[in-house]
Amino acid sequence: MSRSRLAVRLAWTNAAATLQLTSLSWRMKQREPFFLVSSAWLATLAVLPMALAAVALVGPDAMHIKTFVDLAGTDNYMAYVAIGATAMIWSTQTGANVGFVLEAQRLSGTLGSIWLTPTSLLARVAGLGASGMFVGMARTLIAFAVAWAILRFPVSLDPFPLLAVLVASTFAVGSFGLIWAAVVLRARAGMILVQALLMGMGILAGPAYPTTVLPDWAQMVGQLLPPTWMIRGLRATLVFNDAAAAWASVAALLGLGLVFGVCGMWLFARFDRDARQRGHLESF
């Protein structure tokens, strides 16, 4: 068999394995009663308090909105904050579902058998994390829809930049999640590490405020985080109606996704090999 035919066959095998693992993960999630409804409600509870806090800060009839406008560049404060909070949920749900892929399978008792399948590392990680990512996206969209239905803030809609930002964000955050997964595999303390990362991103990405209020060093670190650019891209298209800024965010997200993806796969493969040699794969 020629190398080209062998490569095509291997690609099809890995694609089929990815779909099968995605289906398996989805069926396992369906065993959890009300998993989508309850999680969407929790996501909504994360968005609404932040938006209502913005309402309280500007005062009755937006009496104190001038300071916000000077900092954020818009008087659409509810949309500004709700979009930031929603973007953080999208980012954390997507990244965590990739970052926790090993720990979740270990708790379900399926890690050993899945990790012995003769498929590529990327196929296994992508297949196991995909269904959780889709559920996280659904939660986020529901949370934003509920917040909009209650608060009725105006948004501008340019579908192509909006879709591009969402796709690029998913790619970048998912790639970043590979690094989380590698660290979890190495340190075997996923919950604490990932929670620390999420809290740090929630500060540096500026979900409820412009990042210009942060110290210079924090702004520089924030430039390296996918949620920062996702928030900027979504605000550019939904609040400022600035397609050029939205596409600039897409470019930044694709660049970060490529870098994090390459680094994450290298780290994950290295730590996976080390865990197998030491017998630590299922010993978290």
91 versus 47: the higher-pLDDT residue is 91
Mean residue pLDDT of the chain comes to 76
pTM of the model: 0.80
User: What are the tens digits of pLDDT across the range 161-180?
Assistant: 999 999 999 889 888 888 87
Q: Is pLDDT of 136 > 80?
A: no
Q: What is the DSSP string of the chain?
A: --HHHHHHHHHHHHHHHHHHHHHHHHHHHHTSTTHHHHHHHHHHHHHHHHHHHHHHHH-GGGTTHHHHHHHHS-S-HHHHHHHHHHHHHHHHHHHHHHHTHHHHHHHHT-HHHHHTSSS-HHHHHHHHHHHHHHHHHHHHHHHHHHHHHHH-------HHHHHHHHHHHHHHHHHHHHHHHHHHHHHS-HHHHHHHHHHHHHHHT-SSS-GGGS-HHHHHHHTTSHHHHHHHHHHHHHTS--HHHHHHHHHHHHHHHHHHHHHHHHHHHHHHHHHHHHT-TT--
Q: Check residue 88 and give its pLDDT.
A: 86
Q: Check residue 54 and give its pLDDT.
A: 72
**Least confident piece of the model among 111-120, 151-160, 232-241:** 111-120
Q: Check residue 81 and give its pLDDT.
A: 87
User: What are the tens digits of pLDDT across the range 25-82?
Assistant: 656 555 665 555 555 566 666 676 677 777 766 766 667 778 778 878 888 888 888 8
Q: Where are the domains of the chain?
A: 3-278
Q: Check residue 79 and give its pLDDT.
A: 87
- Could you tell me what percent of the chain has a pLDDT over 70? 60
Tell me what the mean pLDDT of segment 224-235 comes to: 93
Q: Is pLDDT of 197 > 60?
A: yes
Tell me what the mean pLDDT of segment 228-253 comes to: 94
Q: Is pLDDT of 203 > 80?
A: yes
